[in-house]
Amino acid sequence: MVCFAVLLFHNQTSTLTFLTKQYYKVYKTSIFSSLIKEEEQPVGEVKGENLPGSENSEKSKISIQDVASMTSDAPAYATIGPCPDIPPKLVGPLRVEFDYHRSLDKVREEVAEPLQNGGRFKPTECVAQKVAVIIPFRNRHEHLKHWLYYLHPILLRQQVDYGIYVINQFGEGVFNRAKLMNAGYFEALKEYDYDCFVFSDVDLVPTDDRNLYRCFSNPRHLAVAMDKFGYRLPYNTYFGGVSSFSREQFLRINGFPNTYWGWGGEDDDIYKRVTFRGMSVSRPDLVIGRYKMVRHKRDLHNEPNPKNPDKLHMTHWTMDKDGINSLKYTVKEIVKEKMFTFITVDIQAPAS
C-alpha cells in the first residue's frame, strides 16, 4: 500500500496549501473485508450481473422515509454484521426525468431528512463500505440539483456509508477535472476514514439502482451506457463519466494526472494507469450501467485542449511523478450544506 505524508502550510490569505510526498510500505491487510469478489471482465466485453430488480421502467415507489426505516432501531447490545452484497431495497430500472422547475429547496425538502450535515449518511443496521462520492465542479448548480435528487435515494437504498463532496474550482482559469478529483480525495480523507472513492461527473444520473456505488476487487467503470452514446461504450477502453477506486487501488496508480488542462484525455490516461499497474477494469452490463446526461453546452474555459492527446504516449513514464504525489492546491472555502459538502479550491489554473 502506498502511504503519504501531508504537509500543511498557512499562507497570508489563511488558506491551506497541500504538498504531498509519496512513501511506499507493504501491508497485508485488506481495505475492506466485504469488497465484492467478482469475476473480472475482459476489456471489450460487457458481462451481466445477477442482481435483483425488474426490467420495467417504472420509477421507484419507495419513499425517503421508507428507505430511512432500514436504519431503524437495532438493539444497542446487538452485534451487527456487514451489509449484504446485494442490498434488499433495490428496485432496478428507474424513470429519470430532469424537471427544470424543481428548485434546490424542493430537492432538500424531499431527500434531505435522513442525512447528516455535509451530505453524510451511515446505515445503522449493518456495517457498510465507507464511500466518498467526489464531484469535480464549476458553475453547474442546475445540474447538481438533478444529481442530488436522484443519487441520495439511490445511495440510501444501496446501504452505503457515504459522503458527498463537491469540489469547486476557484476562479475562471482553464478547468482541470482530474486535479479537482485528486483534491477531493484528500479533502474527504480529512473528514472520515473512507476506503472507497466514487468519482462522478455532475451531469450523469444512473437509471438503475443495481449499479452499485461502491468498490470492487478491481477499479470499476460505472457509466458504461450513456444516452448520448446510444447506450453503448464509445470505445473499449473508455473510462469516462463515473468510476470507483478503493483507497489501495487509487494509491497504486498515484491518483489521477494533474496536467490535463481543458477538456479531453484524462480519462484515457487513468485507464492506462490502471492497466500499467497490472489491474483490469470491471463494469456492469449495458442495462444496469445506463446513464442519462443533463444536456448542456460546452463549459466556458473547458474547451478541448489539442495538447492533451499527445500526453497519452507518455503516461507510462509520467504516472509515477504526475499524480497525488505532486498535487498542489489551496483550500479557499468549505461550506457544509445538508445534502453535500462544497469545497472551493485554487488549483493554480492557467488563464484561458
Q: Which residues are paired to 226 by β-bridges?
A: 291
Distance of alpha carbon 196 from alpha carbon 162, whole angstroms:
9
Range of the domain at 332: 103-346
Find the CATH number of the domain harbouring 285.
3.90.550.10
Establish if 94 belongs to a structural domain.
no
CB 66 within 8 A of CB 31: no
CA separation for the pair 288, 268 (Å, rounded) = 23
Query: Is 251 inside a domain boundary?
Result: yes
The answer to the question of residue 197 being in a domain is yes
Does residue 62 lie in a domain region?
A: no
Whole-number Å distance between alpha carbons of 352 and 350: 6
Q: What is the pLDDT of residues 45-89, one digit of tens each?
A: 333 343 333 344 444 444 555 555 544 444 444 688 999 999 999
- Decide if 274 is inside a domain: yes
In this predicted structure, what is the pLDDT of residue 13?
40
pTM of the model: 0.79
Nearest to 122 by CA among 191, 170, 53: 191
> Distance (Å, rounded) from C-alpha 309 to C-alpha 262?
11
Q: Running along the chain, 352 residues long, what does each successive block of 10 average in pLDDT? A: 42 42 33 39 38 40 51 55 96 96 96 97 97 96 96 98 98 95 98 98 98 98 97 95 98 97 89 97 98 76 71 91 97 98 96 80
Which candidate, 131, 323, 308, places its Cα nearest to that of 214?
A: 131
pLDDT of residue 265: 81
Max CA distance (Å), the chain: 61
Tell me how far the alpha carbon of residue 96 is from its chain's centroid: 19
Domain assignment present for residue 352? The answer is: no
Phi/psi for 149 (5° steps) reads: -60, -40
Looking only at the bridges linking them, the beta strands covering 225-226 and 204-206 are unpaired
SS3 assignment, position 224: coil
Residue where the block lists cell 445534502: 339
Domain count within the chain? 1
Q: What is the pLDDT of residue 303?
A: 64
Query: Is residue 92 one of the residues assigned to a domain?
Result: no
Q: Cα separation of 250 and 245, whole Å?
A: 6
Rg, C-alpha atoms of the chain = 19
Residue 169 neighbours by CB distance under 10 Å: 25
**Closest alpha carbon to 35 in 1, 82, 70, 2:** 82
CA distances from 266 to 72, 188, 240, 275 (A): 42, 21, 9, 15
- Record the cell numbers describing residue 202, joined without a space: 455532475
Question: What pLDDT, on the 0 to 100 scale, is given for residue 79?
Answer: 83
Return the pLDDT at 234: 94
Measured N-to-C along each axis, helices 104-111 and 141-157 cross at an angle, to the nearest 10 degrees, of: 10
Point out the residues that are catalytic.
201, 203, 263, 266-267, 293, 296, 298
